[in-house]
A and B are shown apart, each in its own frame.
Chain A
Amino acid sequence: MKVDLTVNGKEITADVEDRMLLVHLIRDVADLTATNIGCDTTSCGACTVLLDGESVKSCTVLAAQAAGHEITTVEGLAVDGVMHPVQRAFHEQHGLQCGFCTPGMVMAIVSLLRENPHPTEEQVRTGLEGNLCRCTGYHNIVRAALAAAEEGAA
């Protein structure tokens, strides 16, 4: 089937199988490979992207369901080579260890801060319940989210 959607501000038309998952469209059709496939069972959050500005797990959305909608991946956050405040906060707070969960974490935090621009530490921790870091590097990830909020990332 033919699918029209916007990915990181760019209009894309793709001819895909009806059963194609959004994450495969992002990685294999749009060729944006920062979005990782982790558990592939809606648990780990590595594949988190924004759909119309809200975080979703792209392993559990059909590409067909995203037709007509706007997708943002971590590659779409920086503007003219300048990192998004959440990305900069991850850099400055060392909010990563191996880096595999990072794109999903960043997108989940961008969505979280849009809904709640000034979260408490507890709200950040519960807001990230859908994202797992197997290095268990949560402390610096939470610090990064709070630092980004302070900077007015939302």
Chain B
Amino acid sequence: MIPSSFSYKRAGSAEEAFDLATEYGEDAKYLAGGHSLLPLMKLRLAAPEVIIDLTGLRELSYITDQGSHVAIGALTRHHDVQHSELLGRDLPLLAHAAGQVGDPQIRHRGTIGGSVAHADPASDLPAVLLALDATLVARGAAGSREIPIGEFFQGLFETTLEPGELLTEIRVPKPAAGARGWAFQKFTQRAIDWAIVGVAVQGGHVSLVNMGSTPLRAAAVEAALADGASPADAAAHAAEGTSAAADIRATREYREHLARVLTTRALTEAAARS
């Protein structure tokens, strides 16, 4: 399968990428690792006229300790997130979940920023970063701005990024003492598939993969936990407020059942780690 014709531009810097995006407007699309966008282009579900390749922007690939948070460049690959010593120590949920994305070949190409900006509700990292209360940094015409991740996802593949705006950094606060228990559970048919349902837990925060058009915080579960409910009792609320889709892999009812089962497992696992 071959994508429809487009014009390929390689950006040498974030500045140049933004200038190219401004020049080509709505016809252009940023390409990071390409492991979401290229498959869509090969299926001709996406047909941008201009591709702005960001993979040469080494300046946006980093993981640095900022004291209370860790700053991750948007073009940091899943492989590097997975194997980061700093993340393994201070944000093990994120390092572990990055190692569950796709397969080794995909993790050698796919990037954390690409995954977040693509905003597929079936992706792992958007929900994980939601549980971690990350802040996103985007660069646009008016300079850089910070976006709390809770305000970022607007719908299926839809975010608050403006046209041409470039996601540059993800800031992830280190969990406070007492909120260090974590777990990530996902259920797939084959190892490399997207999650049918996934659950990320960090302390009292619980978020869901693929239970609506965006990643979701399981507010009713979090409220029950705050009231002292057991993992099983809290997890009984996991499907409340969700709007899971039915598709070839699962009915809505099955997804709701999975959300409760996986949330029970994740909360139990997190409690054992706290």
Say yes or no for A130: interface residue by CB 8 A criterion.
Answer: yes
Q: A4 on the interface (CB 8 Å rule)?
A: no
- The smallest C-beta distance from B44 to any residue of chain A, in angstroms, reads 11
Task: Specify which of A19, A51, A57 is in contact with B3 (CB 8 Å cutoff).
Answer: A19
Question: A111 an interface residue at 8 Å Cβ cutoff?
Answer: yes
Closest to B1 in A: A40
Question: Is B126 engaged at the interface, CB distance under 8 Å to the other chain?
Answer: no
B-side interface size class? 20 to 34
Contacts A45-B105, A56-B109, A129-B103 known; A61 to B192 CB distance under 8 Å? Answer: no
Q: Which residues 1-15 in B have Cβ within 8 Å of A in the complex?
A: 1-8, 10
From B6, B53, B55, B106, A19 is in contact (CB under 8 Å) with: B6
Report Cα–Cα, A64/B53, bound state, in Å: 9
Q: Is A41 part of the contact surface with B, judged by Cβ < 8 Å?
A: yes
Asked whether any CB of chain B lies closer than 8 Å to the CB of A54, the reply is yes
Which residues of A (59-73) have their CB < 8 Å from a CB of B? 59-62, 64-65, 67
Q: Give the chain B neighbours of A106 by CB distance below 8 A.
A: none
Return the contact of A60 from the options B2, B6, B38, B79 (Cβ within 8 A).
Answer: B38
**Known pairs A18-B8, A19-B5; A130 contacts B106 (CB<8 A):** yes
For residue B102, CB closer than 8 A to chain A, the reply is yes
Q: Does B108 count as interface, using CB distance less than 8 angstroms?
A: yes
B8–A130 contact, CB under 8 A?
no
B55 adjacent to A42 (CB under 8 Å): no
- In the bound complex, what is the Cα–Cα distance between A41 and B103 (angstroms)? 13
Can you name 17 A-B residue pairings with CB atoms under 8 Å?
A1-B8, A18-B8, A19-B2, A19-B3, A19-B6, A20-B2, A24-B2, A41-B39, A42-B35, A42-B39, A42-B106, A51-B108, A55-B105, A56-B105, A64-B8, A127-B104, A130-B103
